[in-house]
């Protein structure tokens, strides 16, 4: 009985929280973000990429605003 009450109580809390959330428009969300400035690209030491590949990744990564990551599989 206690377990059922606990589950019911948690369901009521979760449902009530989601129902009370107000949607945010894209314009309002944009005002909350920090302004995108020049991106910083950091390459970790590796042996799988040529100098040309590293330069291309730095160029592509430098054009990405905010946060991002690029991962490679050296064996493929």
Per-residue pLDDT tens for 6-38?
777 777 676 655 556 788 898 988 888 877 777
Q: Which residues are CB-neighbours of 62 under 8 A, at least 6 positions away? A: 38, 39, 41
Give me the mean pLDDT over the 56-63 stretch.
87
Full residue range of the structural domain in which residue 29 is found: 2-62
Assigned domain for 76 exists: no
Residue with tokens 């946060």: 67
pTM of the predicted model over 0.75? no
Per-residue pLDDT, 52: 93
Question: Who has greater pLDDT, 19 or 76?
Answer: 76
Nearest Cα neighbor of 41 from 70, 7, 74 is 70
Assigned domain for 23 exists: yes
Assigned domain for 70 exists: no
Domains identified in the chain, total number: 1
Assigned domain for 55 exists: yes
Assigned domain for 9 exists: yes
Q: How many residues does the chain have?
A: 76
pLDDT at 44 over 80: yes
Assigned domain for 7 exists: yes
């Amino acid at each position: 009985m206690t377990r059922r009450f606990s589950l019911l109580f948690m369901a009521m809390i979760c449902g009530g929280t989601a129902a009370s959330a107000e949607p945010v428009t894209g314009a309002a969300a944009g005002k909350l973000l920090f302004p995108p400035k020049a991106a910083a690209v950091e390459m970790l030491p590796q042996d799988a990429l040529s100098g040309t590949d590293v330069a291309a990744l730095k160029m592509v990564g430098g054009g990405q605003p905010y946060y991002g990551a690029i991962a490679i599989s050296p064996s493929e």
